[in-house]
Structure formats: structure tokens, C-alpha cells
């Protein structure tokens, strides 16, 4: 079963086709991979969990043999994957058993990190927190977290940081990842929350992927699309991406637009859709506000003009508009090619607008998936360790803050809501200016993943910044820490998490963590206890000690909010994934939101009063009430604005960055997995054949890619990428490379700039030069 099925999955990541037709159930195919020599019958026991190397939420079971993780297999009955497992998850569990896991706390002594007890390490951390609270107050303290912890951990951290310490400086790497998904959903529907369902793939007749290389980044969901394409009456697929990705290759229509031109493209499509009357006027009238403004703005984007800005053939745009405009069941997915590019939120909102003007929401096949990337990014947004308030409450609404204070049994004034929460890029700016002097980093590796790494290294190395890093492995970031705390990994701890289509899974502990490593939840609970954080009655602020206790507390916090978990229990989740909202009235969860055209956008209920899409300036409650008194969906329009940094004489190329199918981010897990590391061992640079020829370059030549911030040296791949664009994967930092040169990580090159609305950094556009480099 094992090797027969899985050895081919590096070469064929999507596995064998199981074709199906519209409206039919997606056939089951169970994938499994076990340690060398082990047969399924040899496994001691299987532990239910789900995948954590993307946001798909594929249900799987962890095989345990002699107290160690020894493989995984898909859960046939899981609503998300019907048994399939992504190659990263098939093989990636091996990283848990890696010999260089962090197993003991480390503290910095005379410039070196040395092993210490938990008591010493946590004593230093809380000691510094107390000193800074005395000297400066909570504004000295910041937390930078992840999209890879469990729900229970985020909720606990959100409570500690906002409710206990009273700092506003709390954000996650979700800012780099899905801040725009959240922002776009809030702008259009009044609140975060994914309208659609993965099952929309089973019904759609047109599927659009906007800046989303799903074939590489959500391989199981892509298999579902491939199976539709192989079956009767397949959907038309439209791919919007400057690279010829496997999605582009499979697509009916590929729009290889110029990087950073997404808003012009969307405005052109909307113009054509409205012009041809491919709209549902009754839906617009009954359920939305703002349509006239959209019509006015996009009237300035006839296809000819949009084609000119995007540098795509006008006829291709016309064909795309017709496919989208005449679709009966339209599914759209959006990801980093929109979220990390120029005008991120404005572009993502236009995708929502397509669905609103066509009345295509809440029915089978009619979904928007403003995708997540990390496995638990959704939970950070829900639980409030990322600049959102728990339960999608509205920072600017005093009644929401008071409600949260009631649940936490603290004074509303103890929750800092005097200004918007500090976004990650601003947290690093404050650390650079030394007003933030304590930074607690959990489950992220900013020394590789943030833009402009030379600057980030300088900030993280500052003498006046006390840096705590909690991770599984030594990383480029732990190298710079004052205290390193060893965490238990997936499989070594229990917790729930929620995928892109709102499916909640429970992942249970299968084995013990290595050495004295502890779960993030345990560490946070002790952190709070050592600080003596209390509620208004003097009782401990954090009232739970284990994951299930935290989950039960979170259920109460979510009750009555759009992300309502009150009907869920660990017991129920053991049976399989359930989509929120899940309440007593809806015990089986909710497959699609907004089926009735009702939105969580009422001024008293919504998560935000919205922002100006061009400047990012927040609207006041009174503005919002005037615009949208009845709480309908909001159609927001935006003009196209060119990226701040564009190619010119010295830097004639567009630099864009992204992912390999085989590696996950900074490779702390996949780089320690033999099959995956071997499949994508080194950085590379992609150029079109035309550009390679012009520069006298051939496949495999070393090239030097330079931007105003640094240079990266990489072997060349000549691909179908559009001319004028150079692509680098961002996975390759320095932890597994000898020497101290900084010329491999894509983020040496990227720019310190962000979307004005979501504050998501721009990783997809910069101006670069490409030159031949002599081999040493």
C-alpha cells in the first residue's frame, strides 16, 4: 500500500485521476506513506489530525510506532480531501524526528546561546517584561506570532497580550499571508469569514484563480479541479498569473498580466460585465450598496485601456469577461499574486464585486475563496493574536470591546482600543526606533520571511531589543535571540484549527515532544501565571490549563459572533471536520455563508466600518451608518494606481517571488525531509526564453539578481514566465548553508512597502537587474 502508492508522488504530486462530473461526489482516494519497511498492519495506533503545511485542512491520521511518528494516511471520510494527502504532508512528518530539534531552553550568556532550565529561561523573560512595564509601560512589549499555532494558543495569547499586559503591539505573520483575505472580506461583507466551500468545485462551470498557483500550494484541492477537468462537462478555468504555472497550463484561458496590474485587470473585466448586462440587478438592488460608484469608476476602464495597462491581449480579456459574465456557477479563488502585490485589498475586493454584481454567492458552485495560506491563519484572525479582536469584534465599536471585557472579566479600559492595533511592519519600525524593547516571536522566522532582510537582521540584533523566540528548530531568527524556548510540534500536542473553507479539525497528540520541549499553550499559560496576570476579581486571568479548557472558553467568546463555535466539542470533532458557524441550531455546521443574501454588515454587528481602498484611511461609525444603514454587502470601487517601485533604466525587470511545490516557507520542516529537500534543494531564478537570449544566458547559468536593497545569486531556469519578469522562490535562507554570505534569500531584495488597507507587505513586485555571474 505504502510505497506502491506514494513513491511516485514527488514526480506526480497530484496522484492518479479520479474523474467526476458536475454535481457528483468527488471520489475517495486514500493516500498513505509510512516509514521505510513499515506496513500498515505494523502500526501501533493511528491518531486523528489534519495537514499543517498549507491551508487546505486535509484530514489525516498519524501513524505511531514505538512512541514515534512513523507515517500518515488520509481520512477517506473527511469532507475536505476525501482521503488524499499532499506530498509535503506525506513526507514532511519526518522533520518531527529530526536530530536537531530544539530540546532545551537556551539563554544568551556572553554573546552565546547556552542551555538553561525552563525556570531560568522563563525567569529571564518575565523579569524583562516586568522591568519594561515599570520603566515604560505596555507600549514597550510586542508579540509577533504565526499562522501555524492552534486556536487554543492564539486565544490564550490574545487574552494575555490584549487583556493582561494591555499592549496593542500584537500581530502575526498572517500579516504577510492573509491580512488581505481578511481585509477584503471585511470590506465587502462587513466581516471576515469565507463565503464559499471547497465543494463548490464539484458544481462550478467556471473557476477563476487569481494570483493563485493552487497546483503547487494546495495540491489536494487542485486534484479536485483536475478530476473535474478529466470528467464529463468540465468547467472552464481562468488563470491570472504572470508565470506559466501548472494552473496556467491546465487553464482554458491564461491571462499573464504584468505584475502589479491586478486592479486594472479587474476593473476592465467588471466594465465589460456591466456593459454587457451580465449582472443580476435584482440581487444588487436587494442586497448591496455602492453599485453606482463601481459603475462610475469602471466606466473609465474599457478593455482597450485595461489591456494596455496589464499588457495582455484585449481579446483575451474579452473572452475572460464573457466566460465570467455568462457563467451559471462561478467559483473564484484569490491568493498571493493579488494579496502581496500592488493595491492588494482593492484588487481582492473587485473579485468579491464580480460575485456581488452577478448574484453568485451562497449557492452550490457559486463561491468566493479569499484563500488562506498557512494552516491556522484563520484561527489567528478569529482569536485575536494578530491585530484583530477575538470573535471578529470591531475595535472601533466600544460595545464590542465592552462585551469582550465582560467575557474576560476585566475593565474595558484595560483592552487597548484607543488606536488601531499595530501591524507587523510597524512593530518592526518601532523596534528599530527602540520604542518597542521586548519582542516575543512564536512560530515564525522573520529573519527569512520579512522583506529587506538586512534591515530585519539589524533590528533583531539590536542590543536594546530583548528577543524571545519560540520554535521547533534552530533558525536564522533563533540565532539572534536572547532567549530561545523549545516548542512541541504538530503531533506532539493537541489543538483545533480551521482551514480556508471554515472546516474545523482537531489534531490530537500522538507522541511526546523531544527533550523538555513543551506545547506553546503550556508555555503561554506558565508565562501568564509567572507574571501574576489576574482578572478584575483577582482570579487568574487565564482560567484554563489544557487545550480543551481553552477551546471551551473560546466557544463562549465566539458565541453569537459570525465565527460561532458554540455547537462544537472535541468529541464531535473527533468524528471529522465541521464548518463554522456551528451552533445548537446548526449542529452539523454551515457549508456556505450568505445563502439568503444576509450579511454580517449591520453597523452594530460588523467587524469594521471599512477603509478607503486607495489611502487606507479608516471610516468612522457615522460614515458607515450613513452608507450602509441596513447592513448590506458593500461594493467598493478603486482606481488603478501604479506600484511605487517600478522598473526603470538601472533596474529594468519586475522581480516577483513565491513558492515551490516541495518546500514550505523557510524550510524548517521540508528542508529536513529527505524526499522534499532533494526535490527542490537550491534557490533558482526564472526568466523567459526571450530575456535569457537577449542577455546571452542559458539554462543553468549563474545569474545575479540585484535590487536597490541587495543581491541574490542563483542558477537560471528558462520558463514560460512573461518577458520582463524575474521570479525567485523565497524558501532559501541560511540555516543549512555554510559561510556567512547573504546572497541566497529572496527577501534580501524585496521592498519595505505594504498595501494601505490590509498592511500586507508587497512581495510580488520590485524593480530588479539581472546579470550573468561567473561560476567561482
Ligand X SMILES: Nc1nc2c(c(=O)[nH]1)N[C@H]1C(S)=C(S)[C@@H](COP(=O)(O)OP(=O)(O)OC[C@H]3O[C@@H](n4cnc5c(=O)[nH]c(N)nc54)[C@H](O)[C@@H]3O)O[C@H]1N2
Which residues are at the interface with ligand X (CB under 6 A)? Answer: 54, 88, 146-149, 173, 176-177, 210-213, 216-217, 240-243, 245, 257, 259-260, 262, 335-338, 340-341, 373-374, 442-446, 448-449, 470-473, 475, 487, 489, 520, 656-659, 661, 663-666, 668, 730, 746-747, 750, 763-764
Say if residues 330 and 365 touch (Cβ distance below 8 Å).
Answer: yes
Does 450 participate in binding Mo ion (rule CB under 5 A)? no
Report whether 420 contacts 410 (CB < 8 A).
no
- Nearest residue (CB) to Mo ion, 291 versus 763: 763
Stretch near Mo ion under the rule CB under 5 A, chosen from 248-256, 370-378, 489-497, 722-730: 370-378
Position closest to ligand X via CB:
373
User: Which triple of cell numbers denotes residue 650?
Assistant: 538601472
Closer residue to ligand X, CB minimum distance, 178 or 396: 178
Scanning 314-322, 367-375, 508-516, 759-767 for contacts with Mo ion by CB under 5 A, the matching segment is 367-375
Q: Answer yes or no whether residue 373 interacts with Mo ion by CB under 5 A.
A: yes
* Sign (positive or negative) of CA dihedral 588, 593, 594, 598: positive
Closest distance to ligand X from the beta carbon of 219 (Å): 7
Residue 243 binding target from Mo ion, ligand X, none, CB below 5 to 8 Å by type? ligand X
Under a CB-based contact definition with an 8 Å cutoff, are residues 200 and 643 in contact? Answer: no
To ligand X, the closest distance from the beta carbon of 350 in angstroms equals 12
Whether a cis peptide bond, with omega within 30° of 0, leads into 581 is yes
Q: Minimum Å distance from CB 178 to Mo ion?
A: 7
Is 162 in contact with 170 (CB distance < 8 Å)?
yes
> Does 600 help bind Mo ion (rule: CB under 5 A)?
no
Quote the least distance from Cβ 40 to ligand X, whole Å: 26
Residue 115 Cβ, how far from Mo ion at the closest point, in Å? 32
> Which of ligand X, Mo ion, none has residue 661 at its interface (CB below 5 to 8 Å by kind)?
ligand X
DSSP states of 336-358 as a string?
A: HHHHTSTTHHHHHHHHHHHHHHT
Q: Which does 149 bind (CB under 5 to 8 A by kind): Mo ion, ligand X, none?
A: ligand X
Site for Mo ion in 674-703 (CB under 5 A): none
Cβ-based nearer residue to ligand X, 21 or 515: 515
Dist. CA 562–CA 392, nearest whole Å = 7
What are the angstrom distances between the C-alpha of 137 and each of 128, 132, 459, 655? 12, 6, 21, 42
The residue among 405 and 680 lying less far from ligand X, judged by its C-beta, is 680
Least distance CB 72 / ligand X (angstroms) = 16
Distance from C-alpha of 376 to C-alpha of 173, rounded to nearest angstrom:
11
Q: Tell the residue number behind the cell numbers 506558565, with chain if given.
A: 526
* Cα-based angle 194, 198, 203 (whole degrees, multiple of 5): 115
State the minimum distance, in angstroms, from the CB of residue 749 to ligand X: 8
**Minimum CB distance to ligand X, residue 603 (Å):** 32
- For Mo ion, what does the binding mask look like between residues 153 and 192, x meaning CB under 5 A? ------------------------x---------------
- Residues contacting 291, CB < 8 A, separation 6+: 284, 357, 635
84 binds, among Mo ion, ligand X, none (CB under 5 to 8 A by kind): none
- Asked if 550 touches Mo ion (CB under 5 A), the answer is no
416 makes contact, choosing from Mo ion, ligand X, none, with CB < 5 to 8 Å by partner type, with none
**Rounded Cα distance, 176 and 351, in Å:** 20
Q: Which of these segments, 75-83, 125-133, 306-314, 366-374, binds Mo ion (CB under 5 A)?
A: 366-374
Angle between helices 262-275 and 291-298 (to 10 degrees): 110
Minimum distance of ligand X from residue 715's CB (angstroms)? 18
Look up residue 93 and give its DSSP letter.
G
Residue 116 or 680: which CB sits closer to ligand X?
680
**Eight-class DSSP state of 685:** E
Q: Residue 376, SS3? A: coil
Specify the residue, 217 or 417, whose C-beta has the smaller distance to Mo ion.
217
Residue with smaller CB distance to ligand X, 257 or 422: 257
Distances (CA, A) of 597 to 163, 260, 334, 359, 592: 35, 32, 22, 9, 11
Largest CA distance in the chain: 73
Nearest residue to 294 via CA among 331, 261, 323, 263: 263
Nearest residue (CB) to ligand X, 437 versus 764: 764
Nearest-angstrom CA–CA distance, 144 and 62: 29
Cβ 473 to ligand X shortest distance, Å = 5
- What gap in Å lies between CA 118 and CA 125, rounded to an integer? 10
Q: Are 295 and 357 in contact (CB under 8 A)?
A: no
Closer residue to Mo ion in complex, CB, 373/581:
373
Q: Minimum distance between the CB of residue 369 and Mo ion, rounded to whole angstroms?
A: 15
Min dist. Cβ of residue 177 to Mo ion (A): 3
**Cell digits of residue 478:** 533563533
Q: Check: CB of residue 36 under 8 Å from CB of residue 19.
A: no
Nearer to ligand X, 82 or 175 (CB): 175
**Which of the listed partners (Mo ion, ligand X, none) does 443 bind, with a CB threshold of 5 to 8 Å by partner kind?**
ligand X
Shortest Cβ distance from residue 599 to ligand X (Å)? 26
Instruction: Work out what residue 471 binds among Mo ion, ligand X, none; the CB cut-off runs from 5 to 8 Å by kind.
Output: ligand X
Q: Pick the closer one to ligand X by CB: 497 or 544.
A: 497
Q: Could you give the CA distance from residue 554 to residue 558 in angstroms, rounded to a whole number? A: 6
337, 249, 356, 269: which is closest to 309 by C-alpha? 269
Distance CA 425, CA 405 (A): 28
**Binding mask of the shown chain, residues 321 to 360, with x at each position contacting Mo ion by CB under 5 A:** ----------------------------------------
Spatial contact of 717 and 756, defined as CB atoms under 8 Å apart: no
d(CA 544, CA 122): 19
Q: For binding to Mo ion (CB under 5 A), which residues are involved?
A: 177, 373
Amino acid at each position: 500500500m505504502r510505497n506502491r502508492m506514494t513513491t511516485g508522488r514527488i514526480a506526480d504530486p497530484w496522484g492518479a485521476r479520479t474523474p467526476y462530473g458536475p454535481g457528483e461526489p468527488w471520489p475517495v482516494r486514500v493516500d498513505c506513506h509510512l516509514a521505510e519497511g513499515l506496513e500498515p498492519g505494523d502500526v501501533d495506533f493511528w491518531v486523528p489530525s489534519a495537514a499543517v503545511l498549507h491551508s487546505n485542512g486535509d484530514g489525516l491520521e498519524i501513524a505511531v510506532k514505538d512512541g514515534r511518528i512513523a507515517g500518515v494516511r488520509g481520512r477517506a471520510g473527511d469532507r475536505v480531501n476525501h482521503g488524499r494527502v499532499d506530498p509535503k504532508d506525506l513526507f514532511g512528518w519526518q522533520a518531527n524526528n529530526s536530530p536537531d530539534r530544539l530540546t532545551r531552553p537556551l539563554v544568551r550568556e556572553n554573546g552565546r546561546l547556552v542551555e538553561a532550565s525552563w525556570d531560568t529561561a522563563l525567569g529571564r523573560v518575565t523579569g524583562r517584561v516586568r522591568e519594561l512595564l515599570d520603566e515604560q509601560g505596555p507600549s514597550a512589549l510586542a508579540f509577533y506570532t504565526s499562522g501555524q499555532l492552534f486556536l487554543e494558543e492564539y486565544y490564550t495569547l490574545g487574552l494575555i497580550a490584549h487583556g493582561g499586559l494591555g499592549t496593542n503591539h500584537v500581530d502575526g505573520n498572517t500579516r504577510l499571508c492573509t491580512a488581505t483575505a481578511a481585509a477584503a472580506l471585511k470590506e465587502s461583507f462587513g466581516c471576515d469569514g469565507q463565503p464559499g466551500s471547497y465543494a463548490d468545485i464539484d458544481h462550478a462551470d467556471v473557476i477563476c484563480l487569481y494570483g493563485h498557483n493552487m497546483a503547487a500550494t494546495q495540491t489536494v484541492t487542485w486534484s479536485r479541479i483536475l478530476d473535474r477537468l478529466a470528467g464529463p462537462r468540465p468547467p472552464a478555468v481562468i488563470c491570472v498569473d504572470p508565470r506559466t504555472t501548472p494552473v496556467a497550463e491546465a487553464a482554458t484561458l491564461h491571462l499573464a498580466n504584468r505584475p502589479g496590474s491586478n486592479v486594472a485587470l479587474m476593473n476592465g473585466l467588471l466594465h465589460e460585465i456591466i456593459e454587457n448586462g451580465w449582472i443580476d440587478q435584482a440581487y444588487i438592488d436587494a442586497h448591496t450598496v455602492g453599485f453606482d460608484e463601481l459603475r462610475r469608476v469602471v466606466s473609465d476602464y474599457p478593455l482597450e485601456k485595461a489591456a494596455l495597462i496589464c499588457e495582455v491581449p484585449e481579446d483575451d480579456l474579452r473572452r475572460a469577461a464573457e466566460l465570467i459574465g455568462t457563467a451559471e456557477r462561478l467559483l473564484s479563488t484569490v491568493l498571493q499574486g493579488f494579496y502581496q502585490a500592488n493595491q492588494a485589498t482593492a484588487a481582492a475586493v473587485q473579485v468579491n464585486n464580480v460575485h456581488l454584481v452577478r448574484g453568485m454567492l451562497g449557492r452550490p458552485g457559486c463561491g468566493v475563496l479569499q484563500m488562506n495560506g498557512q494552516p491556522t491563519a484563520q484561527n489567528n484572525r478569529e482569536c485575536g493574536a494578530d491585530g484583530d479582536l477575538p470573535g471578529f469584534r470591531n475595535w472601533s465599536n466600544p460595545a464590542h470591546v465592552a462585551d469582550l471585557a465582560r467575557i474576560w472579566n476585566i475593565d474595558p479600559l484595560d483592552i487597548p482600543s484607543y488606536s488601531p492595533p499595530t501591524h507587523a511592519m510597524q512593530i518592526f519600525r518601532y523596534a528599530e526606533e527602540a520604542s518597542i524593547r521586548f519582542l516575543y516571536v512564536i512560530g515564525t522566522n522573520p529573519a527569512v520571511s520579512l522583506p529587506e532582510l538586512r534591515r530585519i537582521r539589524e533590528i533583531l540584533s539590536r542590543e536594546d531589543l530583548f528577543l524571545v523566540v519560540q520554535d521547533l528548530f534552530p533558525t536564522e531568527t533563533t540565532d539572534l535571540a536572547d532567549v530561545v524556548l523549545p516548542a512541541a510540534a504538530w503531533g506532539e500536542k493537541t489543538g483545533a484549527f480551521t482551514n480556508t473553507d471554515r472546516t474545523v479539525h482537531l489534531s490530537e497528540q500522538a507522541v511526546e515532544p523531544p527533550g523538555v520541549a513543551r506545547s506553546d499553550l503550556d508555555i503561554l499559560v506558565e508565562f501568564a501565571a509567572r507574571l501574576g496576570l489576574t482578572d478584575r476579581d483577582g482570579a487568574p486571568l487565564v482560567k484554563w490549563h489544557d487545550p480543551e479548557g481553552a477551546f471551551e472558553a473560546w466557544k463562549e467568546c465566539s458565541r453569537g459572533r459570525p465565527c460561532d463555535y458554540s455547537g462544537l466539542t472535541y468529541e464531535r470533532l473527533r468524528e471529522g471536520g465541521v464548518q463554522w458557524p456551528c451552533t445548537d441550531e446548526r449542529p452539523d455546521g454551515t457549508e456556505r455563508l450568505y445563502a439568503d443574501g444576509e450579511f454580517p454588515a449591520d453597523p452594530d454587528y460588523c467587524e469594521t466600518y471599512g477603509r478607503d481602498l486607495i489611502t487606507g484611511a479608516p471610516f468612522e461609525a457615522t460614515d458607515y451608518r450613513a452608507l450602509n444603514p441596513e447592513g448590506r454587502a458593500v461594493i467598493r470601487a478603486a482606481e488603478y494606481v501604479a506600484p511605487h517601485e517600478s522598473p526603470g533604466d538601472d533596474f529594468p525587470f519586475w522581480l516577483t517571488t513565491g513558492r515551490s511545490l516541495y518546500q514550505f516557507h523557510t524550510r524548517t520542516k521540508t528542508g529536513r525531509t529527505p524526499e522534499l529537500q532533494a526535490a527542490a534543494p537550491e534557490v533558482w531564478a526564472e526568466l523567459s526564453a526571450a530575456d535569457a537570449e537577449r542577455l546571452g544566458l542559458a539554462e543553468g547559468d549563474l545569474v545575479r539578481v540585484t535590487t536597490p536593497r541587495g543581491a541574490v545569486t542563483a542558477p537560471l531556469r528558462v520558463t514560460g514566465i512573461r518577458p520582463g519578469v524575474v521570479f525567485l522562490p523565497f524558501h532559501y535562507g541560511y540555516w543549512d548553508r555554510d559561510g556567512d554570505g547573504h546572497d541566497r534569500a529572496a527577501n534580501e531584495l524585496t521592498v519595505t512597502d505594504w498595501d494601505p488597507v490590509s498592511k500586507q507587505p508587497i512581495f510580488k513586485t520590485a524593480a530588479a537587474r539581472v546579470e550573468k555571474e561567473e561560476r567561482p
